[in-house]
Amino acid sequence: MDNEDAPVDTDDTQAPNELAAIEFESPGRFAVHNPEPVTPDAAQWEPAPFILGQHERLERFSQPQEARAHVLALIQQAQRSLCLYSDDLEPWLYHHSSVQQACTRFLLSSPRARLRILLRDPIRAVKDGHRLLTLSRRLSSNLHIRKLNPDYPSDELAYLIADDRGLLLRPELDQQAGYALYADPARVRQRQAQFDQAWDTSITDPDLRSFLL
């Protein structure tokens, strides 16, 4: 299917300052009904074997374990900045000790390391409890969580930005498929600008604030 967030081959007629769109072919629609309930983390996740800033090929994924491997690889290799744009802090993808440990190491690696999280709806994460919310209480100076402003338009997708090179994007919220980029500074700059704009208009949700206090 055609999707503006999905990669396509560049066209010689395309404006020089525009990035090529990414064509994303969905494996098909399906409802996500509690995808793999979160358990006490019987096994640690393994990161994808790609190097941030060096691996230039786009990596598509359609299975949750593939998405998890890319997320872990990006977080483990980030050195300065992580930006997470999420619907509800997807528990199947981020509520795991492997992610929590990787984020902890990242945030403690440097006083300048920063993780920013933008949520469309924090109610589920607050109600059920989420490892990254708990971590934000411990490392509040480096980890910031805010809610998307409902009065401003927002993208119906989810993504993770790692430094100025890495990007994991899921174009459709009701699917676990997407793609990961490890060395695409142009596309990351474009997505980072959109994240920063959304961050500047974001708000602090009362439920989220009470949880973090």
Q: Is 53 left (phi over 0), alpha (psi -120 to 50) or beta?
A: left
* Measured distance CA(213)–CA(207) in Å, rounded: 10
pTM, two decimals, is: 0.80
Check residue 163 and give its pLDDT: 97
Check residue 16 and give its pLDDT: 45
pLDDT in 10s for each residue of the chain, 213 residues:
445 555 544 444 444 456 666 665 555 544 443 344 444 556 889 999 999 999 999 999 999 999 999 999 999 999 999 999 999 899 999 999 999 999 999 999 999 999 999 998 877 777 777 888 888 888 888 999 999 998 988 888 999 999 999 999 999 998 999 999 999 999 999 999 999 999 999 998 776 665 555
* Measured distance CA(205)–CA(48) in Å, rounded: 34
Check residue 24 and give its pLDDT: 55
Check residue 20 and give its pLDDT: 63
The answer to whether 121 touches 87, Cβ cutoff 8 Å, is yes
Check residue 9 and give its pLDDT: 46
DSSP 183: S
